[in-house]
Structure 1
Amino acid sequence: MNKYSKLQSAYSFSHFQKDLISGLIVGIIAIPLGMAFAIASGVRPEYGIYTTIIAGIIISIFGGSKFQIGGPTGAFIPILLAIVMEFGYENLLKAGLLAGIILILMGLFKLGTLIKYIPRPVTIGFTAGIAVIIFTGQIANFLGLEGVKNHEYFLANIKEIYLHLNTINLYSVLTAIICLVIIVLTPRFAKKIPGPLIGLIGSSVIAYIFFPTEVATIGSSYGQIPNHLPSFHIPIITLEDVQHLLAPAFVIAMLGGIESLLSAVVADGMTGSKHNSNRELFGQGLANVVTPLFGGIPATGAIARTATNIKSGATSRVSGVIHGIVVLLVLLVLAPYASHIPLASMAPILMVVAWNMSERVEFIHLVKTKTGDSLVLLITFLLTVFTNLTTAVQVGLILAVFLFMKRMSELLIVAKVLPDPHDKNEKVRSKTVKEGMDCPQISIYTIDGPMFFGTAEFFESSVMKTIQYEPSILIFRMSKVPYMDTTSEHHFSSIVHRLQQRGGKILISGIRQQPLEVLKKTGLYQQIGQENFFDRTGKAINEGLNHLELQRCRGCKHFAFRECDELSIDTEVPTKKQMTSPAH
């Protein structure tokens, strides 16, 4: 039992004190991030605060990780901004609620483990792409540009920045630089003090004292932040809404599921604990169903905040609940002061978030490998930046699947073999098969690798093109076939039917349980005959030798088997004892 398991089994006041400290620290960190993520997503800053409070508490209580900190994250920014621009804020709430329902269903149907199988190049590709979008999206606020409009696509936004470069506000640039310097330097001198919060407060105070009217603030851009939670409101979702919003809701759900489970895995690695994937999806889903009812935006597990929670000494779910309560108290008491925060102070916070989430080391490493994974990574990244996240993930997954199929198909080996006369145990080997030594009546094949739809055609063609003498007996050694699907079974049955129509015989040795079950379910097992399945190749060869056309053996010079010396000159039918061969 690790130390965290022990803490959970004997929760005490000292543990509560640790949760209180960690919850306080993470709550303070979450405040500027919540507002920044909301603004970058195209909605009012208080909606990010609402999300931090409500989703943060629900995820901590109902999620599958004891240390998970939930709330708005940078990964959602591109997709949320696109939804707001196309459908509006009210429909964003509906999309978030639908995403929550999808996540709950995924949790109930125990699909949590499936998300883990999304290829790493795809996740790195869209994460790096999102980082680029977030970073470039803050250039206008960093420079204090005026009249800049948000667009759905990256190039249009870059063009918008270029067209308004003549409106640079040096006071905004100075404010942003002050905040950025504080964020970068704070961890070097005071690791436990949240740099983003100090940078936000420090640069805001300087701007408010020395040039209060020269920079755009939250108040001048969005109005006063209310110091209370919004009223409960259930949005009316029509069938038409579902049709329009189901696709973006699915993307929100998938992205939220991926990020929350990645965050849970990070927490497991830091604490030695074990999260429940399906409960995590359920908790995330519940949070995203409830949060929109109070005006909040979609939320998920936040890796950086979860890691900070653990490093600050968290011992249980209580720290996550406290983090939400801290944000609520700050909202109630200090909300009016938030109106004086310059937008230029928010920009460096998001730029640093983008830099930290960019996966730059992994990205460069994968590109340098110059493999199929590099192609999947680059295409997913470019599509995320230049089109949208939905297209990027879909294309990335399809490319990854095709790449996987290609790799798996290359793993299948179909080799024609014969007993090696130079081996004392007469082991079968492919090198034994030569032009002048290949039995016209018996062909033996070793099949090594998975037999599925990607390898089915290759399997059938490999067998058919190497049958030179139309043998009457085929022996398949299948001990190295871990898996068979119905497509490969169909191609396998084609070989069986063709041979049996000519009066031939199929013998199989060493077949594993899964392929055997497939053959039984499709009826091919019964067609081949139970008596033609053997646990060892030697037994299958003995059976094949007992069914030779002895007339064809006379005068044969191939001598593929030890018995061929006698069979090629005998004019009488040999006894079964004479034809018994040692196990191969």
Structure 2
Amino acid sequence: MNESFFRPKLFDAIRGYNRERFMADLMAGIIVGIVALPLAIAFGIASGVSPETGLVTAIIGGFIVSFLGGSSVQIGGPTGAFIVIVYGIIHKYGIDGLIIATFIAGVLLLVMGLLRLGTLIKFIPYPIVVGFTAGIALTIFSTQMNDLFGLGITDMPGDFISKWWTYFTHFSSVNFWALGMGLLSIGIIIYSPRLTHKIPGSLIAIVLMTVTAYLLRMQGIGAFETIGDRFTISAQLPKPVGVELNLETIRLLFPSAFTIALLGAIESLLSASVADGVISEKHNSNTELIAQGAANIVVPFFGGIPVTGAIARTMTNINNGGRTPIAGIVHAVVLLLILLFLGPLTAYIPMACLAGVLIMVSYNMSGWRSVINIGKGPRSDSLVMLVTFLLTVILDLTIAIEIGLLLAMLLFMKRVTESTRITVSKGKLDLTRAGEIAHHDEVLDIPEGVEVYEIEGPFFFGIANRFEETMATIGDRPRVRIIRMRRVPFMDSTGLHNLGNLIRMSRREGTDIVLSGVREQVREELTQAGIVELLGEKNVCADIQLALQQAHLITKK
């Protein structure tokens, strides 16, 4: 399928759709809906909003992602990756700021898809993804200590260090009922796969702990906090609200919105790519971005939080037989029915149990094996990962991604610069040692007063300066300088500018420049920059033999 077209997978899935396929999607959708229930509630509360907001996000966002998406099996909804940034936006700008930031992020995702940038998102350096994912995991873990230990802290600081200092100063007020429920929930999640793989451990933990909490309260035993103690659950979809936009709020919230959009794009396309490998299918990345954009544009009008593709729920969908977007739509319908008919029951879920669920989510997110593997690799990759991780934890996810990308690009350019070779030949040029294909083994004679320079690699701003330094180091003024460019794949504006300056400076010093083996694409760049006209067509040669002949003619003048 051509990536340039917007074509939801649902349109292809309904062709030849039959009862057997529907039954498989129906079962998968029901199971995914049940799996998504505790996660949607937990992510909503951890993000600083109500549990029903998490459910509404999963319902509306999940429906739109499945209806319009470019993946057959993608399940959309709130995810752990957004907890940190959503909590930070609410802390700084309130719920209204979050609504506006999410809406702007949706517009950005829509534009990314329309501009066909889906494939480019996949080129975000892996160490950055691992770094901020591990940082988010640690931050999520740190936000759950209050509920896990039942500390009852109401005014929690936003930054990582202050948060842990507050915990240490309040550990004398640990609620052992809450701690016991939290640890028991973690144990159930860890060990339940030994009994069944069909029912997720998080759901088993929430059901058992909720029943336990209800029975204990009926007997007047135990003092622990439940969702109902902190939130009022409304068993209905919220009414749409307006979004007020002006230039000042856009300017203020654009960095946060950009982070939401970039994070959403990375996570959703990563999830779709993982799914492709399992179901042997190819998703349409641009269509997927448009769907994610539409979901994040619509969800804020209902007070929802950011939406993206969820890897765990997507894999649950695949493992239970889901193969078309119908399964994702069923999952959204199941969550809607739960909200409408079983919503009040969620009030009995202990907060410590949700803390246990999120601690396990943070552990699974951490990707500690990937962290170790990158740490064993090149130092530059380890540095990018470490800086991104520390900035995510200590400062801000927005800053972490921006600095991480900048650092990755600088280190990449440094690597390219170091791998690009500049060699100089005088007197003789051995073509066989250079690995050049010739009619026979030959060593070419370089005429007196001629030097041959060869650049192997891209001729961009970092190399342009090194090239000038190489010639300055040699210190002589030959009659002709031949620059071999057969291994130069591209030139940037700095390389073109420096080459033009070199030609003019060399002429003033009585030295002519001859180019050899210029590739077609590079020749077009040289022509557009006026370099070919400056040199003259006869001084831009197809190969080294012709270049040496031209140099010989120049030296005889």
Q: Same fold (TM over 0.5)?
A: yes
The answer for the alignment partner of 1:425 in structure 2 is 441
Q: Distance in 2 between the 1:47 and 1:456 partners?
A: 55
The equivalent residue for 1:311 is 319
Q: Aligned pair in 2 of structure 1 residues 370, 542: CA closer, same or farther (>3 Å)?
A: closer
The letter of the residue matching 1:359 is G
Counterpart residue number, 2:401: 393
AA partner of residue 407 (structure 1):
R
Write the mapping of 1:2-13 to structure 2, written as runs, cut at 5 A. Answer: 10-13=16-19
Map of 1:563 onto structure 2: none
**Counterpart contact for 1:444–1:477, Cα < 8 Å:** yes
User: 1:143 is matched with which residue?
Assistant: 149
Please name the residue that 1:216 is paired with. 225
Secondary structure of 1:145's aligned partner = coil
1: CA distance, partners of 2:461 / 2:129: 26
* Partner residue of 1:529 out of 531, 536, 552: 536
Determine the C-alpha separation between the residues in 1 that align with 2:532 and 2:492: 14
Q: What is the CA-CA distance between 1:440 and the residue it aligns to?
A: 4.7
Distance 1:175 1:525, change over 3 A: same
Alignment of structure 1 residues 293-442 onto 2, 5 Å: 293-369=301-377, 371-418=379-426, 419-420=428-429, 425-427=441-443, 440-442=448-450
Task: Answer whether contact 1:23 1:319 (CA < 8 A) is retained.
Answer: yes
Counterparts of 1:484 and 1:373 in 2: how far apart (Å)?
A: 26
1:184-240 deviation line (CA, Å, top 9, x unaligned): 1121221111111111111111122135652100001112x1111011222222333
Residue number in structure 1 paired with 2:266: 258
CA distance in 2, matches of 1:276, 1:422: 46
Question: What is the identity, as a one-letter code, of the residue corresponding to 2:223?
Answer: E
1:26 is aligned to 32
Pairs within 5 Å for 1:178-257: 178-211=184-217, 214-223=223-232, 225-257=233-265
Q: Cα–Cα, structure 1 residues 250 and 6, in superposed 2: closer, same or farther, change >3 Å?
A: closer
Give me the whole-angstrom Cα distance separating, in 2, the residues matched to 1:8 and 1:416. Answer: 64
Q: 2:146·2:153 contact (CA, 8 Å) conserved in 1?
A: no
Q: 1:498 aligned to 488, 505, 516, which one?
A: 505
Report deviation, 1:463. Answer: 2.6
Q: Equivalent residue of 1:547, what SS?
A: helix
Partner AA of 1:363 in structure 2: V
Note if contact 1:148-1:164 (Cα within 8 Å) is conserved in structure 2. Answer: no
**Residue equivalent to 2:112:** 106
CA distance in 1, matches of 2:75, 2:83: 18
1:328 maps to amino acid: L
The answer for the alignment partner of 1:580 in structure 2 is none
Residue 514 of structure 1 is matched in structure 2 by: 521
Structure 1's 399 and 421: CA in aligned 2 closer, same or farther, altered over 3 A?
closer
Separation in 2 of the partners of 1:362 and 1:8? 39
- Who is 2:548 aligned against? 541
Q: Structure 1: how far apart are the matches of 2:324 and 2:285?
A: 17
Question: Number of residues paired by the alignment?
Answer: 538
Give the fraction of aligned pairs with identical amino acids, expressed as a percent.
41
Give the 3-state SS of the residue equivalent to 1:474 in structure 2. strand
Contact 1:227–1:336 (Cα < 8 Å) also in 2: yes
For the residues of structure 1 that align with 2:492 and 2:157, how far apart are their CA atoms?
A: 47
Q: Deviations over 1:49-87 (max 9, x none)?
A: 000000000001112211110000000011100111111
CA drift at 1:422: 11
8 Å CA contact retained: 2:13, 2:325: no
In the aligned structure 1, how far is the partner of 2:148 from the partner of 2:315?
28
From 131, 136, 141, the counterpart of 1:130: 136
Match of 2:4 in 1: none
Shift of 1:407: 0.4
1:294 to partner: Cα distance:
1.2
Name the structure 1 match of 2:436: none
Q: Is the 8 A contact 2:269 2:288 kept in 1?
A: yes
Deviation at 1:260, TM superposition (A): 0.8
The separation in 2 between residues aligned to 1:317 and 1:222, in whole angstroms, is 33
Aligned to 2:460: 452
For the Cα contact (< 8 Å) 2:447–2:552, is it kept in 1? no
Q: TM-score, normalised by structure 1?
A: 0.89
CA distance, structure 1, for counterparts of residue 154 and residue 23 of structure 2: 47
Give the Cα–Cα distance (whole angstroms) in 2 for the partners of residues 345 and 420 of structure 1.
75
**Scaled by the length of structure 2, what TM-score is found?**
0.93
Provide the residue aligned with 1:562 in structure 2: none
Aligned partners of 1:5 and 1:273 also within 8 Å:
no
SS at match of 2:461: coil
Change (3 A) 1:101 1:5: closer
Q: Is the 8 A contact 1:35 1:49 kept in 2?
A: yes
CA–CA distance in 2 between the matches of 1:150 and 1:27? Answer: 32
